[in-house]
């Protein structure tokens, strides 16, 4: 469900024509839809409402301030994985008491920031991290609200690089070692042990791994309870996928909620979640202009002005992104198989191979679908290419919510040493 549709032959984001945005802002450009963000957040939040927890948007999936503010106004919290993301969430208007800090390697400075801000919860992923957080909290005279992230040893996720819940992954405390870690945590005076967290992976298209993981969480909560350690919070992490391809069947949030209810619903804990991709993925397009059509000896290349540095998912995860022309194709028109590639000097700078598309020519605009999550946030300036601007559409209005930097700005942090001057 999204709000990018053709109208009179032109692709629109809500009530704004994409080519009008490109006219104003240039290409390439990321375009996000407020109505889509809103709908995805609300469907998910409504599904989990009965569990009384937070829905914390995973800022790493889309770190744009205006996007986060849009969600914050709907009641979203934020799941952050660095001090930088914590600052972004606060600047976007997320109240500290709706922020969860995740991640395997928080620095002392990041712990201090989290405690000073007074955030809802810090998810701790190892025993040494428990010890450091305890020390930092004691030095500040506060108690840190913590959950332990456990690793349930469940395989899930759309690609090996985004599977996080197997025991060979770096994440979480092995679930078999968790009871001892909890006993240790409860002995530390600087910690207030609130709950348990899991996050088993990303782009998960099937409910079974969630059920397996949640059942292990259930066992752990009951085992700890029998041991005199009673937890009041469960954090499910994120991970529910989005359809990147037509026909990709992803279970809808109410079905996910049913699994939560059957596995954890009777424990009397508040249950929070940290969705990222699910909220932002289909709410964004990356729009790019065709620069050249190049006839190779065996392939036809569409060379476009976006590249792997702007949207790295195809290069990094062999990910599929739907590609549609901004001018609506003539129905029934024969397609041509294109390799859609960017200008970066790497073979990996390939968005799609042998993709059937309507005939393209230089100057045509195309849109990469489902680019709202792990798109702009993962972009870099590789090849000294400026970061792509981001635009937020709301009904019939749009605004640039991050502009394209100038070359001076891109170079502003660099300095030639005196001996080279």
Ligand X SMILES: *Cc1c(COP(=O)(O)O)cnc(C)c1O
Binding residues: 239, 274-277, 313, 317, 346, 374
Q: Is 269 part of the annotated catalytic residue set?
A: no
Binding residues for pyridoxal 5'-phosphate: 239, 274-277, 374
Query: Residue 3 corresponds to which tokens in the numbers above?
Result: 């709000």
Listed ranges 27-35, 231-239, 338-346, 354-362: which one lies at the site for ligand X (CB under 6 A): 231-239
90 contacts ligand X (rule: CB under 6 A): no
The contact pattern for ligand X, residues 134-173, with x = CB under 6 A and - = no contact, is ----------------------------------------
Listed ranges 186-194, 269-277, 284-292, 326-334: which one lies at the site for ligand X (CB under 6 A): 269-277
The answer to whether the beta carbons of residues 341 and 279 sit under 8 Å apart is: no
Q: Give the whole-angstrom CA distance, residue 402 versus residue 13.
A: 17
Degrees (nearest 5) of the Cα angle 400, 405, 408? 155
Angle subtended by helix axes 65-73 and 34-48, to nearest 10 = 50
Least CB distance to ligand X at residue 276 (A): 3
Prior bond to 401 cis, omega within 30? no
237 contacts ligand X (rule: CB under 6 A): yes
Least CB distance to ligand X at residue 279 (A): 8
233 contacts ligand X (rule: CB under 6 A): no
Tokens 């709410």 sit on residue? 283
Measured in degrees and rounded to the nearest 5, phi and psi for residue 212 equal -60, -45
Binding residues for substrate: 277, 313, 317, 346, 374
199 contacts ligand X (rule: CB under 6 A): yes
Got the DSSP string for 308-356? TTT--HHHHH-----EEESBPPPTTPPPEEEEEE-SSSSTT-EEEEEEE
Least CB distance to ligand X at residue 5 (A): 25
- Number of residues located near ligand X, criterion CB under 6 A: 17
79 contacts ligand X (rule: CB under 6 A): yes
The answer to whether the beta carbons of residues 216 and 175 sit under 8 Å apart is: yes
277 contacts ligand X (rule: CB under 6 A): yes
Least CB distance to ligand X at residue 18 (A): 25
Got the DSSP string for 200-237? -BSSB--SHHHHHHHHHHHHHHHHHHHTT----EEE--
Listed ranges 179-187, 219-227, 236-244, 326-334: which one lies at the site for ligand X (CB under 6 A): 236-244
User: Which uninterrupted H or E stretch holds 254?
Assistant: helix 253-264
Least CB distance to ligand X at residue 162 (A): 7
The contact pattern for ligand X, residues 38-77, with x = CB under 6 A and - = no contact, is --------------------x-xx----------------
Query: Residue 341 corresponds to which tokens in the numbers above?
Result: 């590639």
DSSP conformational letter for 405: P
Residues that bind ligand X (CB under 6 A): 58, 60-61, 79, 81, 102, 199, 202, 237-239, 274-278, 373
């Amino acid at each position: 469900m999204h709000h990018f549709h053709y109208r009179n032959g032109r692709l629109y984001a809500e009530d704004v024509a994409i080519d009008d945005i490109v006219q104003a802002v240039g290409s390439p450009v990321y375009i996000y839809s407020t109505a889509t963000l809103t709908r995805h957040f609300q469907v998910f939040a409504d599904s989990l409402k009965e569990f009384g927890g937070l829905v914390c948007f995973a800022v790493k999936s889309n770190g744009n301030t205006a996007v986060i503010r849009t969600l914050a106004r709907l009641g979203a919290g934020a799941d952050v994985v660095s001090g930088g993301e914590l600052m972004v969430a606060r600047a976007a208007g997320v109240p500290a008491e709706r922020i969860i800090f995740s991640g395997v390697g928080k620095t002392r400075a990041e712990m201090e920031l989290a405690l000073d801000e007074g955030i809802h919860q810090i998810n701790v992923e190892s025993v040494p991290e428990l010890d450091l957080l305890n020390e930092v909290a004691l030095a500040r005279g506060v108690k840190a609200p913590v959950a332990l992230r456990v690793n349930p040893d469940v395989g899930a996720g759309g690609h090996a690089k985004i599977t996080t819940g197997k025991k060979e992954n770096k994440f979480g405390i092995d679930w078999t070692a968790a009871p001892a870690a909890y006993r240790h945590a409860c002995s530390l005076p600087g910690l207030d042990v609130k709950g348990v967290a899991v996050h088993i992976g990303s782009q998960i298209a099937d409910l079974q791994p969630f059920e397996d993981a949640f059942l292990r969480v259930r066992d752990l909560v009951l085992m700890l309870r029998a041991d005199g350690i009673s937890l009041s919070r469960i954090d499910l992490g994120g991970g529910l996928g989005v359809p990147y391809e037509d026909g990709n069947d992803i279970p809808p949030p109410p079905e996910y909620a049913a699994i939560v209810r059957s596995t954890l619903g009777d424990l009397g804990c508040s249950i929070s979640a940290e969705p990222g991709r699910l909220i932002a993925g289909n709410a964004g397009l990356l729009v790019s202009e065709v620069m050249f059509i190049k006839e190779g000896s065996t392939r036809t290349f569409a060379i476009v002005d976006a590249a792997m540095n702007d949207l790295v998912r195809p290069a990094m995860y062999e990910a599929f992104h739907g590609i549609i022309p901004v001018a609506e194709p003539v129905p029934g028109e024969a397609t041509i198989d294109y390799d859609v590639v960017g200008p970066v000097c790497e073979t990996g700078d390939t968005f799609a191979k042998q993709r059937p598309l309507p005939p393209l020519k230089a100057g045509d605009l195309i849109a990469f679908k489902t680019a709202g999550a792990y798109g702009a946030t993962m972009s870099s300036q590789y090849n000294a290419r400026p970061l792509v601007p981001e635009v937020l559409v709301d009904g019939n209005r749009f605004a640039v919510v991050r502009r394209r930097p100038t070359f001076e700005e891109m170079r502003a942090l660099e300095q030639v040493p005196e001996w080279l001057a």
